[in-house]
Structure 1
Amino acid sequence: MAPLPRADPSLPHEKLSKLRALLQAFDRDARHNVPTYEYGRGKPVTPEEVRGTEMGFNLATFIVHRGKVIAEFYSPLITPDRPLVSWSMAKSITHIAFGIVQRAEMLPPIDHGLGRLRLEDGRFAVQEWKRMDDPRGEITIRHLLQMRSGLEFNEDYDAEKHSVSDVQQMLFSRPGKTDVGKYAAEKPLQKPPGTEFRYSSGTTNILARLLTRIINPLPWPTFIREHLFDPLGVSQGAYAVCDQSGTIIGSSFVFATAEDYARLGMLYLQGGVWDNVRLVDKSWVDMAMIRTGGNPDDILDYSYHWWISRDSEVPYFRASGFEGQFIVVVPSLDLVLVRLGRTPDKTPQWTALQKWMDDVVTCFMDEHSKATL
């Protein structure tokens, strides 16, 4: 794997000074002794643990501008080749995987009810929804990509506060973790499909199980390595976790380096092309920039398994994960920004992290920057 080319930032003095100050602030919060999350081991950090930091615990940041790496920082605990957890950034990677299958003309119609659709193996796309009197059978791939399935699902990550946290049950407990797609598909319908945005990791794992069947007999680790990771030059240490049924846990568990995540963002920045080879159709990439929903109290809108900035001075779309993982893609500035770390939501540190990200992006603005996606 050839590393991405490096270069010094080409910025006016004032903006270069601002960028350096922002990176120094990042570095200060990267010097705390905090454990990284390992699959199946580790607990979320608490607001008390990050008290005294500016942005929580920073592990890595990686900035690519005009195709060249202009900054990268790592915690003393992290080496550049250390794979780190994606959390829900994996959802956006699942969207990329669907785009690869769509380009290969293997994807079923995305507006066809999955309980009414048979795949090549003769079985219904979602067996749990195959009864004609089951309204869940009208749920489509588009509904799932937009988080508008209508299925019941409790996405709260704090199991101690809630007796039933579906995301905790699905990812970490039996029988959920043995077949994450089945766990989510068995949930009852709460709203008519397509009528309401409801963010759900279960939704992504229904899609991941469907994709596992589409690519069969090719196993997930082989598919993602041969059709995505290797073409992008992603490190050999990067991997995606599968459940016991063989389905990739597409909601949450990709492990990769900061540079690997930057490469994934660059693929969409470049419209689905890498080294002059098209991996994903431009029309599929463009879905990441179409607003489809969101919650009024969020700082972002939702698209198709990606998030879109709402009030940022420079529009962007991004993959986002628990505790402040993100891949920010800014087409108008030819910019990709990766941050990996551990910052709890709804804390002053979380707010400061979002501002830090916006401030870094604006360092690359000039009077010719287009305020559009």
Structure 2
Amino acid sequence: MPDTGLPWTDHAPVNGPSGNDRLDKVIDKAFTTQFGSDSRTSAVLIATPTAILAERYKEGHSPVTAQRTWSVAKSIGASVIGAAVEQGLIDVKAPAQIPQWQRLADPRRAITLENLLHMASGLDSNIAGNRTDRVYMGGGLMADEAATNALEAMPGMRWKYANNDTMLAMRAVRSAFESEDAYLRFPFEALLHPIGMTHTRLETDWAGDFIMSSQVWTTARDLARLGVLHLQDGLWDGKRILAKGWVDYISTPAPAQPPLQNSDGSSRPGYGAQWWLLNAYDPALPKDSIVAAGNRGQYLVVIPSLDLVIVRRGYDMVGGSGFSYVDFASQIVAALKEN
């Protein structure tokens, strides 16, 4: 199925010059290893709400080539939740309705949907919270692997990156629907298709629970559409898709934050609600910049103050020196400012 090119009224030619030589040179570098010795770029798209400023793909890829998002799916999941809030289906401040937690003495009943969105459930998620291979590749059920873990910290008091928190957040949303069919239709009817994300596919486990921590397939253009929706505070063609103020909500630093530095001493971004926050992370980028980030170099950078969306897709080598999206985004912003 072709891509309509909407909502953009102006389009730079696919794999052609943007009309901004400096911008083109930055994009040229993205398809080399200059932003990371082990980076392997497959797509770059730079857009505003009205124009695709530049769009380029590696050989064999096109505007309709979908790739696995990895953890960019978490930000897509948060957007589904924002649509559910808009429709009055859920309250992020309320306890997450997880069936396995409903006995009166279960301390997990205190975990709110907001705690899950903030990666602050307090649940045990092994040493590395991003290792959910049993669900992703082993046929394990989300309900068995994520909903049965015990507390190891008070909800809301500790930040820990955990795929389980995202999957549980989506399970909490499922509790608002009377049928599995209504739940499975909701992301497409309430969010994806209204904004033209028709090349996006969401995986579920075999019990019908969305695995929105990673298992989503989408195109560069569809990610850019999600970015544009956030530039417009959740409005699309005058219709409210995300709850009013949702973009501010996901962009507000969570009470519990990740460490300011990685183990190697390098700086880390902050965290909102399933989105990374650049705030003071890099002085070359506006403080309102937010990022959806995924393994192997999947990035959606949204900069509301510049009305700008930056998408980079890749197949970066695991464990290597991957793509520096901060350096790339900083140089994109500089190229646009000097044009």
TM-score bracket for the superposition, by shorter chain length: 0.7 to 0.9
Residues 276-326 of structure 1 show CA distances to partners (whole Å, capped at 9, x for unaligned) of: 111112312211210112222252110011111042222200111111111
CA contact (8 A) 2:135 2:205 kept: no
The corresponding residue for 2:235 is 273
RMSD over equivalenced CA pairs, Å: 2.5
Summarize the alignment of residues 40-59 of structure 1 with structure 2, pairs less than 5 Å apart. 54=37, 56-59=39-42
Q: What stretches of structure 2 of length at least 5 have no aligned partner? A: 14-18, 262-266
Deviates more, 1:200-209 or 1:212-221: 212-221
Which of 102, 110, 117 lines up with 2:92 in the alignment? 110
Amino acid at match of 2:145: Y
1:170 lines up with 2:135 in the alignment: yes
The corresponding residue for 1:224 is 187
CA distance in 2 between counterparts of 1:16 and 1:54 reads 26
Please report the TM-score for the alignment, with normalisation by the length of structure 2. Answer: 0.86
- Residue 286 of structure 1: SS of its match in structure 2? helix
- Residue 72 of structure 1: SS of its match in structure 2? strand
The corresponding residue for 1:357 is 329
CA contact (8 A) 1:299 1:311 kept: yes
- Residue 211 of structure 1: SS of its match in structure 2? helix
1:286 lines up with 2:248 in the alignment: yes
CA distance in 2 between counterparts of 1:181 and 1:61 reads 36
The corresponding residue for 1:307 is 276
CA contact (8 A) 2:113 2:172 kept: no
Deviates more, 1:333-342 or 1:222-231: 222-231
- Residue 364 of structure 1: SS of its match in structure 2? helix
Please report the TM-score for the alignment, with normalisation by the length of structure 1. Answer: 0.78
CA contact (8 A) 1:143 1:193 kept: yes
CA distance in 2 between counterparts of 1:364 and 1:333 reads 10
- Residue 185 of structure 1: SS of its match in structure 2? coil
CA contact (8 A) 1:323 1:342 kept: yes
Summarize the alignment of residues 361-372 of structure 1 with structure 2, pairs less than 5 Å apart. 361-365=333-337
CA distance in 2 between counterparts of 1:362 and 1:215 reads 46
1:147 lines up with 2:119 in the alignment: yes
CA contact (8 A) 1:262 1:336 kept: yes
CA distance in 2 between counterparts of 1:52 and 1:195 reads 36
- Residue 338 of structure 1: SS of its match in structure 2? strand
Summarize the alignment of residues 253-264 of structure 1 with structure 2, pairs less than 5 Å apart. 253-264=215-226
The corresponding residue for 1:234 is 197
Residue 8 of structure 1: how far off its partner (Å): 5.5
Amino acid at match of 2:28: Q
Residue 183 of structure 1: how far off its partner (Å): 1.5
The corresponding residue for 1:251 is 213
CA distance in 2 between counterparts of 1:256 and 1:267 reads 16
The corresponding residue for 1:61 is 44
CA distance in 1 between counterparts of 2:292 and 2:124 reads 23
- Residue 31 of structure 2: SS of its match in structure 1? helix
Amino acid at match of 1:25: K
Residue 347 of structure 1: how far off its partner (Å): 3.9
The corresponding residue for 1:132 is 104
Residue 110 of structure 1: how far off its partner (Å): 2.5
1:328 lines up with 2:298 in the alignment: no
Deviates more, 1:197-206 or 1:278-287: 278-287
Residues 129-166 of structure 1 show CA distances to partners (whole Å, capped at 9, x for unaligned) of: 22232221111111111010000113748xxxxxxx74
CA distance in 1 between counterparts of 2:73 and 2:313 reads 13
Q: What stretches of structure 1 of length at least 5 have no aligned partner? A: 10-14, 30-50, 115-124, 158-164, 367-373
CA contact (8 A) 2:136 2:215 kept: no
1:205 lines up with 2:160 in the alignment: no
Residue 54 of structure 1: how far off its partner (Å): 4.0
1:79 lines up with 2:62 in the alignment: yes
1:188 lines up with 2:161 in the alignment: no
CA distance in 2 between counterparts of 1:27 and 1:166 reads 29
Identity %: 27
- Residue 176 of structure 2: SS of its match in structure 1? helix
1:317 lines up with 2:290 in the alignment: yes
Residue 269 of structure 1: how far off its partner (Å): 0.9
CA distance in 2 between counterparts of 1:110 and 1:7 reads 38
Which of 316, 319, 324 lines up with 1:343 in the alignment? 316
Cα–Cα, structure 1 residues 73 and 152, in superposed 2: closer, same or farther, change >3 Å? same
CA contact (8 A) 2:36 2:321 kept: no
CA contact (8 A) 2:38 2:317 kept: no
The corresponding residue for 1:20 is 24
Cα–Cα, structure 1 residues 52 and 286, in superposed 2: closer, same or farther, change >3 Å? closer
CA distance in 1 between counterparts of 2:281 and 2:79 reads 26
CA distance in 1 between counterparts of 2:134 and 2:325 reads 29
The corresponding residue for 2:72 is 89
Amino acid at match of 1:325: Q
Deviates more, 1:353-362 or 1:69-78: 353-362
Residue 213 of structure 1: how far off its partner (Å): 2.8
